[in-house]
Amino acid sequence: MDGRRVASGVRERVAAGVADLVSRGITPGLSVVLVGDDPASAAYVRSKAKCSQEMGMAGDTIRLPATTTQADLVKVVQQLNADPGVHGILVQMPLPKQIDADVVVRLIDPAKDVDGFHPVNVGKLLIGERDGFVPCTPAGVMMLLREYKVQTSGAHCVVIGRSNIVGKPMAALLVQPGVDATVTVCHSRTRDIAAHTRTADIVVAAAGRAGLVTGDMLRPGAVVVDVGMNRVDDAASPKGYRLVGDVDFESAREVASLITPVPGGVGPMTIAMLMQNTLVAAQRSAEQRGA
Ligand code: NAP
């Protein structure tokens, strides 16, 4: 499954939506807050900011030092909540130790929570209300499955990973009426993961463990979505490492009917869905203001 191709379609549609709003005097704005200088977080933030600019959105990246206090970050988020030009707020995780991420997530206005991590949005996802925001990675996986016309109704889906960012919302989406999958969630305490994956029509791997899923763990014809992004040492690469997923691509592709590569699978979808969420936030805000 080609995430780059599907994501580019999403981005085209988002850019058209942005242009429409701009013509009505509203420029969707995404503000990204980066605390500290973790290189991986800085790279994610750069690509999010670049993509939002390409979409024609406004917005900025607020870079705060690693020594930022919780009170300072709270003030920044409150200012963004109050700013009518800001439609989406994203605080890049992880945050430094002195800051309680749960407090920050709960502080973001749910209507601007384009990451979909606020408990209000998590709750809406769980009860099937569609006016919240769905976390971008599982939303991107759902779009890939739809684009490739993967039959989910009655399918057995095995999700590996139970994080609040990927595994749990993924399972919640797959089990919703209309999607209608039968979902098994595996995690680090699961006994014999292979026994579950071998009965799966769809496997979504989101554990952050390179090579966790191998071809012999898959049923022939299974659909495999690899969310994992793991750095493995690679002396041949200029960076000294390369990115791999949780799935051993070479052995899995022999068995799977569809599989996402890493990179070029779920990653581009995540950022495209962030853009879509930001557009939707701006459209809702425009509707409320009668624009
Ligand atoms: P996380 O918070 O570390 O959660 C990992 C989950 O996997 C946990 O539930 C953990 O179980 C489970 N797990 C760990 N090792 C396992 C094993 N050997 N067998 C079975 N389950 C295992 O990670 P995350 O934020 O969900 O991210 C997961 C992966 O996806 C990472 O590689 C991350 O980089 C990647 N990711 C990619 C994107 C993208 O856009 N492509 C976006 C987000 C995340 P316990 O709960 O029992 O500890």
Atom of ligand 1 nearest to the CA of 271: 40
CA–CA distance, 224 with 226 (Å, rounded to integer): 6
Spatial separation of the C-alpha atoms in residues 190 and 217, rounded to whole Å: 15
List the one residue out of 110, 16, 10, 18 whose CA is nearest residue 58: 18
In this predicted model, what pLDDT tens digit does every residue of 144-192 receive, in sequence order?
999 999 999 999 999 999 999 999 999 999 999 999 999 999 999 999 9
Which of these is catalytic: 113, 115, 226, 248? 115
C-alpha torsion sign, points 186, 190, 193, 198:
negative
Residue 70 annotated among the catalytic residues of the structure: no
d(CA 114, CA 153): 28
Task: Identify the pLDDT of residue 59.
Answer: 87
pLDDT for 31: 98
In this prediction, residue 204 carries a pLDDT of 99
More confident call, 12 vs 289: 12
Any atom of ligand 1 within 6 Å of the Cβ of 189: yes
Determine whether 219 is exposed, middle or buried from the number of CB atoms within 10 Å of its CB (0-12, 13-18, 19+).
middle
Which residues, 6 or more positions from 120, have their beta carbon under 8 angstroms from its beta carbon? 110, 113, 132
Q: Is the shortest distance between the CB of 167 and ligand 1 below 6 Å?
A: yes
Which residue in 255, 256, 259, 258 sits closest to 245, CA to CA?
259
Atom of ligand 1 nearest to the CA of 245: 32
Share of the chain above pLDDT 70, in %: 100
What average pLDDT does range 38-60 have in this prediction? 95
Summarised one tens digit per residue, pLDDT across range 197-256 is 999 999 999 999 999 999 999 999 999 999 999 999 999 999 999 999 999 999 999 999
What residues contact residue 18 under an 8 Å CB cut-off, 6+ apart?
27, 28, 55, 56, 57, 279, 282
pLDDT of residue 290: 84
- Is 92 a residue of the active site? yes
Helical packing angle, 39-54 and 266-288, nearest 10°: 50
Active-site residue flag, 151: no
Q: Tens digits of per-residue pLDDT, 88-146? A: 999 999 999 999 999 999 999 999 999 999 999 999 999 999 999 999 999 999 999 99
Helix, strand, coil abundance in the chain, percent, nearest 5? 45, 15, 40
223-226 and 230-233 as β-strands: parallel, antiparallel, unpaired? unpaired
Q: Which two tokens stand for residue 122?
A: 């998590």
The type of residue at 275 is M
Could you say which of 92, 124, 226, 276 is catalytic?
A: 92
Burial class (CB within 10 angstroms; exposed 0-12, middle 13-18, buried 19+) of 157 = buried
